[in-house]
Structure 1
Amino acid sequence: MSTSAVSTPLKVGSAKLPSRVTVFEVGPRDGLQNEATPVPVEVKAEFVERLVDAGVRALELTSLVRPDRVPQLADAEELLRRLDLPEEVRTVVLTPNEKAVRRAVDAGVREIAVFASCTETFSRRNLGRSVDESLRMFEPVVEYARRNGLAVRGYFSMACGDPWEGAVPVEQAVAVARRLDDLGCTELSLGDTIGVGTPGQTVALIDAVVAAGIGMDRLAVHLHDTYGQALANASAAITRGVTVVDASAGGLGGCPFAGSSTGNLATEDLLWHLHGLGIETGIDLHALAGTSAWLAGHLGRPSPSRAAQAITQAMT
């Protein structure tokens, strides 16, 4: 059996599924933010460039946060200066406040993101503010960004569950999504931040958000794999009509302010699933797996992605 045969999925599609899905790569920000050992900025820049070379066309690059809060991202502006990406590549920078969005505009950023919580406890731990206070803090951020021609991605995190408050009612998550929509966010990403969601819960949330007046074409999902449900939840979301799925190369990531949050949905696992269904992504799965293996070498540990491990082994 040839290497290509064992590392490429058989395509069996369905007319009920979208023909194309955008994989929104969050590895450079959400994937690396929780790494205890500093990753050199030149490695981060090469990581981004390798992702783009593999065909990734939507990325979350970094966050303009206080260095004492997320030390791994203290080099955000240096990273942005080093990168010279094609215009067709969608790049996003997380900006938690008005000072950060002004820095983003000065740095030539094309799109920003804001990160809201659906629960009070996590909001206070992550942002030091209540849910309402954090959303009011985002008002001038979104307004400044839109006035300067930037699109705004709005995350509503802890949409499925919270490690301190337990299961999150659907209406509670939808209320935060609506507030972000009212602020002027151009895309909303439903975040299962601690990976407790199930396919039924994911579909119920999507249906409720759409029923609240937010179009399916403006909705994304951001799923963690704590209970091994990320790919199942992504599949349920895609079947329901979502065509933007967040993922992290090699399955890296986790929220530093939510201890039970483990890795993101692995990009390789998602690509194997999508390509097997005949859904186009524009990403070279083997090149992506090679990038994850390269980064794992710099981090000093193997990728947790099952697909990345299998493909890398088959290619050696």
Structure 2
Amino acid sequence: MQALLDAIATSAALPQDAQRLFHGRGGLHPGCEHLTLDVYPPALLLTSFEPLADEALAAIGAAITARWPEAPWVFQCRQEGGRVQTRLMAGTLPDPHVVTEAGIPGIRYLVHLLRGQNHGLFLDMAEGRRWVREHVSPGARVLNLFAYTCAFSVVALQAGAAEVVNVDMSDGALAIGRRNHELNGVKAGAKFLAHDIFNSWGKLTRGGPYDLVICDPPSFQKGSFVATKDYARLAKRLPALLAPGGQALLCLNTPKLGPDFLHGVVVEHAPELAFVERVPNPVAFADVSEDRALKVLAYRLP
């Protein structure tokens, strides 16, 4: 735990953009593998992926208060079996809570630190969003699968896309996505479909072809997506969804499967696609092994 305490004590002023401050999950700080610290200005979020002793929590809380005395902070404990406990430890959170992201100025996102284990914006996907901003051509048509709160869509439309079709099973997530578009003045061109993707291929294919297809599924979510069996089903559909020269951005976030898994799925089930590049992860999410870290791979249909 000392590495986290040292990181807090030596940190600069609280950042103005949402980002990770300490990434114990990357394995670079022995003894802190279960701990992360994020900032969603003006608040901090401490997450532990195993039960945290009261003494340890008190020590971390004291360090946070000493370094950033005015900052509200939240503690979330995630345990096996999907159990999540979340507590507001100090201060008051904004309502609505709106944040910006480093590297993509001017875009705002709604977040919610006290509900569930996902907070409205995945900080590790920052470089993925930057990639979309840089690679979407004016007038492009984009299909955003597993859209969640539609951050990719907001970025694509601000970059000049003519249309983004956002697909997700969760009405609640898409409702936040609509508000994100309103916050950023990019409602025109955005579509929201609360569908099970695997039951909607006909509709999605008829709506194509698309210049960019973004696939950012959960790695394991019973009843929704299990990467080891469902990524193959997804890859098979990509060539029919893409326009000639179109790109696919395939994402996978589990330490149990490396980039070779995704490459293998594409080679077997969508051999028409050519690999372009792996998008680097934010420096704050450095990992002892790139195979364990978030995988964001870009492919192109010739």
**TM-score grouping bracket, smaller chain normalisation:** 0.3 to 0.5
* Higher RCO, Cα 8 Å, sep 6+: 1
> Which is richer in strand?
2
Radius of gyration: which is bigger? 2
Q: Structure 2-normalised TM-score?
A: 0.36
Q: Structure 1-normalised TM-score?
A: 0.34
